[in-house]
Amino acid sequence: MENKKVLLGMSGGVDSSVSALLLKNQGYEVIGATMNLYEGEEEGTCCSTSSTLDAKRICDKLDIPHYTLNFKDEFKNHVISDFIECYSNCKTPNPCIECNKYLKFGCMRKRADEIGCKYIATGHYAKTEYSEKYGRWVLKKSKAGKKDQSYVLWNIPKDIIEQIIFPLGDFESKDEIRKIASDNKLAVANKPDSEDICFVPDGDYKGFLERNSSIKPKIGNIVNKDGVVLGKHTGLYNYTIGQRKGLGISNKVPLFVIGFDKEKNEVIVGEEKDLYKKEILVCDINLLLFDKIEKPLKVKVKTRYSAIEADATIYQENKIIKVEFDNMQRALTPGQSAVFYLDDIVVRWRKDNVKNLK
């Protein structure tokens, strides 16, 4: 008999709740799992007490088992530590990407194996399917347009793509999902989406860093490209590439953060034209569609979750990929991810330890 047992990550929100309903209706043996990730979970976040209870209530209604998985140590070691390390090194992290890699498709995948689940599922807007053209299972964009979440899934191990199910991949809007929840009398049908970083629910990431790491305010100089001091900053972690407001300096033309000098504790500013680059180097490669990029490849590239895809050519040399954009790109930021697409298929992505070239 085919193993249709699936471990579904449930946050207590409408997406994962409808995913549970859809999977059950498709004949899967669904087990709901909510991850307990950090101490002092605030209400309204994806792993708060109320969210865990919401997930359990949905499972009870659908008559499927629900478990809470304690991954606090793993979350601290992989996600929070990376968050702190990035800001310590003048990068702007995306903790959801690290969480997907190490928790949702790492720890939860291991737990699925332990309880005999062939599949793992989440409520992400993305798709997996077998590609005859490429002769392998691939990760693809969903039909949800701007809601597509394939960008934050780039570092899923390619050897488990075949065992991953995204039940929402063929839906075009969140309204469709809420209607399914409402029609089936799921109590979370109108529950608001969680927009903030789950472990920084008040949005004060600076305060979080100061309370949970050795990062503290350290005054330094704000300088232009020539090293001329224009003002003072309150700590490198308080600034990001492309920032204009809050610099506390005046100039005849607007100035933006264009870089950092960690050793000198300096924020470097320039004019808007200085934010534009045409080439970057990226590392931390996770190839999903190919084993290696053997020759120059034309792709679409996203450099932020909300960014518009840009045309580019990529070249691989050992563990580094060079990206040459067709057109200049604004505010490419170390710590973010560059994700490559061929049509709607993810070629690969890597963490943008990005070195700007020109």
Q: Which alpha helices (H) appear in the chain, and where do they start and end? A: 14-25, 49-62, 72-75, 81-88, 95-99, 108-114, 174-183, 205-212
Backbone angles phi, psi at 261, to 5 degrees: -125, 100
Judge whether 117 counts as a catalytic residue.
no
How far is 217 from 234, CA to CA, in rounded Å?
6
Q: What are the contacts of 74-81 at 24+ separation with CB within 8 A? A: 74/102, 74/103, 74/106, 74/107, 75/35, 75/37, 75/38, 75/99, 75/103, 76/38, 78/102, 78/103, 79/37, 79/103, 79/199, 80/38, 80/199, 80/212
Judge whether 86 counts as a catalytic residue.
no
Strand partners, 233: 220
Backbone angles phi, psi at 146, to 5 degrees: -65, -20
Question: Which residue of the set 47, 86, 99, 107 is catalytic?
Answer: 99
How far is 166 from 158, CA to CA, in rounded Å?
15
Structure tokens at 42: 């605030």
Cβ pair 99, 149 in contact under 8 A: no
Strands (E), 105-240: 119-121, 126-131, 136-141, 164-165, 220-223, 229-233
How far is 244 from 271, CA to CA, in rounded Å?
10
Angle at 214 between CA 209 and CA 219, to 5 degrees: 85
How far is 349 from 272, CA to CA, in rounded Å?
27
Question: Which residue of the set 47, 59, 90, 198 is catalytic?
Answer: 198
Q: Beta strand pairing status for 29-36 and 66-70?
A: parallel
Task: Give Cα 66 to chain centroid, integer Å.
Answer: 25
> Which residues are known catalytic residues?
99, 198
